[in-house]
Structure 1
Amino acid sequence: MPATFFVVRAIVTDPNERAAFDRWYETEHLPDAVKAFGVSKAWRFWSLDEPSLHQAMYQFDDEAKLNAILKGDALQKLVADFNRDWPDVKRTRETLVLAQEFVK
């Protein structure tokens, strides 16, 4: 079964909040999410084209594991924590399935 990915895109519009958001995500949110999701890989990105855009990506072994997380309490707790700490940061979520991987 192909790997699946859960992607969260956040827009941090206030440039003065980006460093604090980055620290919070690095030290609290990403480690909490990795543990809650039971994933072995996760990435975070800041866009080079749009400095307010932050993206986090979590890799799941398969669609069933991703779907279980999407329907479970772990995600709801992480969403509540995010809303509590960053109520003005808008975000979207997306799920992806790996179609191809090329490694040279």
Structure 2
Amino acid sequence: MPAAFFVVRAIVPDAGKRAAFDKWYETEHLPDAMETFGVSRASRFWSLDDPSLHVAMYQFDDEARLAAMLEGDALQKLVVDFNRDWPDVKRSRETLVLAQEVST
């Protein structure tokens, strides 16, 4: 089964808050999310085209594990914590399945 991904896009509109958001995500939210989701791999990105755009990507072993996380209560506590700490940051979520991976 191919890997599946949970992707969270966040817009941090206030440039003055981006460093604090980055630190919080690095030291608190990402480790909490990895443990809560039961994933061993996650990545974060800041857009070079839109400095307000932050993307986090969590890799699941397969679609079934991703679906189980989405159907359970694991995500809700993280959402509550995020909304408490960053109420002005709007987010969207996507789920993806790996179609191809190439390396040299």
Identity %: 79
> What pairs with 1:1-104 in structure 2 (closer than 5 Å)?
1-104=1-104
Structure 2: gaps of 5 or more residues? none
**For each residue in 1:13-71, what CA deviation from the matched residue of structure 2 results, as whole angstroms up to 9, or x when unmatched?**
00000000000000000000000011010000000110000000000000010001111
Q: TM-score, normalised by structure 2?
A: 0.99
- Partner AA of 1:91 in structure 2: R
- Cα distance in 2 between the residues matched to 1:19 and 1:100: 34
Tell me the TM-score normalised to structure 1 length.
Answer: 0.99
For the aligned residue pairs, the C-alpha RMSD in angstroms reads 0.5
Deviation beyond 2 Å, 4+ runs, structure 1: none
Structure 1: unaligned runs, 5 residues or longer: none
Aligned length: 104
In the alignment, the residues of structure 2 paired with residue 81 and residue 7 of structure 1 have an alpha-carbon distance, to the nearest angstrom, of: 18
User: 1:59 corresponds to which letter in structure 2?
Assistant: Q
